[in-house]
Structure 1
Amino acid sequence: MTDVTTCTTLAEAAARMPVWEKLSADGASGIFTSPAWCLAAWRFFPDLGPPRLLIASSAENGPLALLPLTAGAGGLTWTGSPLGDEHDVRLRPGSPHARQAAMRLVQEVASRSSATTTPVLLTDVRPTGTLVEIAPSRPGAPAPVLHLHEPDPAWGPLACIPGWSRHRRRELRRLRRGRERLGRVTVARLTEPAQLRDAIPEFVAARLAAWRVRGRFDELPVMDRHPRFPEFLTAAASGLAQTGRCLLAQLRYLNRPIAQALYFRLGSADLLYMSTFDPDFAGCCPSHQLLAEAAAAALTEGASLIEMGRGDEPYKCDLGASPRHLRDVLAPG
């Protein structure tokens, strides 16, 4: 028999970390359902709602499946939503009983949801994940992916981005060389927890400042402007870095960051979560220069694509990203 335990406080959820870490989810779902991400969200965004950490276990096999949810004003949602991109149930690897336990969790969520308001139980679900296999679903938000090309002798890292024409690559190379004639241009990759704890607050501040300078600050998502967002992202990123799942890439001019991008490591893919550039250096396209460098580095480390996150902004298509849609999981029956 499979029973469901619900943790309803931050302390209760934190106490389950040893069990939580042993259950896994594929791809970006493993990031946005991780203890590092969810505990930070519950801690810094209590206004989103209290924890509802659902764990399915059996007396014979112990914990088998887990869903990190929040009891928000509109019902149960993924913890940290809308900050996360893709989610799925976390399962005990290799267990023949995990799938059945996941079905038990879906039934539990359905029993706690209002069938009179919407048939959707959970949004932003991994399209090839377990939840989509065991429950009905429908197409959800777009989340394109960028299939990387190998660098070549002619263009180097610029060849990695499939959407760039020869003309675009030539222009980016010209701009890079022009900047290098004025001073040293380097690429840094911050991967250690201590490095990220120091760098993330400055990264967030630089991003907000850049949107202000461009007169588009009000276009940022509300949660990105939340007063505690820097603390949240610092805690989540440094926590993920403890297991090698986070890095901050920087393009530096005279040791000053002029473009930065926060990536989550997913194994065979990297997720580009957030980026920014210094408007004073917009003329040399620093974000594109950094993207090419990050893509080349990802390929050397076994990642063949970059997930671009939720949303169908035109720039993703311009880079050559392929369309992909997340799924909305519906109530069974």
Structure 2
Amino acid sequence: MNKIYHIGTVGQPWGDAEKVQWLNEQTIKRSFFDEVLPSINALKAEFDIEQYGELNYQQISGKTYPLYAVKSRNWQSNKPTILVSGGVHGYETSGVHGALRFLQTKAKAYSTTVNILVLPCISPWGYETINRWNPEAIDPNRSFGANGKATEALQAKAYLTGLKQSFALHIDLHETTDSDNSEFRPAKAAQDGSVNKNWNIPDGYYTVDDSEHPSPALQKAIIDAVSKITHIAEADENGKLIGEPIQQLGVINYAKASLGLCGSVTDAPLVSTTEVYPDSATATPEQCIQAQVAAVCGALDYLLSQN
């Protein structure tokens, strides 16, 4: 069933008035400062914490959100460097808490062989309002290309560029939720002035490879690791996941650079976007967090097996 969104006029792209109406409907539903920031600060004993930017949304929510990177210590040029990003879409809970759980439980052991950089919550306002977009109704995960406009993406990109660091691996942690069909895709169609056609929400975990620089063996290693934690999504009756042809069990491809996705932000030859399904009747929030950790570890184990 396709849903006509309640804001805007069918067939006409949103103007400023519609975006203001949308923003006025957003409310704070949970706290970045209570649920995420303390976990970042607690890592200071064993990791280096760098503030790479901030989001001044005082006029919108009365808050300024600090943006943090977490780095393993004793970086060495002869070790491969890996990036884990979470919360590009702030509403995707296990992306944020999976990145933090990896730091809390697994990162230190891996830091003997790799340099680790984690951006655990790129979109904290989106986290608090359980939102895909930022306050300007821009999707940060379409803003990492040359024409990107979301401040969240631009500040993360500027930080990474300033490091002048080559990366061997980048894992971007995401979720696919039922609200993609009930809210976010209809809203995007309304903003674009187009007609929304819902896709089937996959029941289970899957990954998104880069069609421009595919790494199928990496994706398989991730799927194998995650399958020990939760179930892998099966293709629909058309052999697709979220409207895209399946490449192998639990894997589809997107053109990441062309779409301005976070997965294109580094020069890493190995890239994967994880997609956890938190609304499954057979997956708990804890399993979703563990699945994200398993994905990162599976990717790291694959990287290290190639060296």
- Which TM-score bucket, shorter chain as reference? under 0.3
TM-score by length of 1: 0.25
Q: Which has the higher strand share?
A: 1
TM-score by length of 2: 0.26
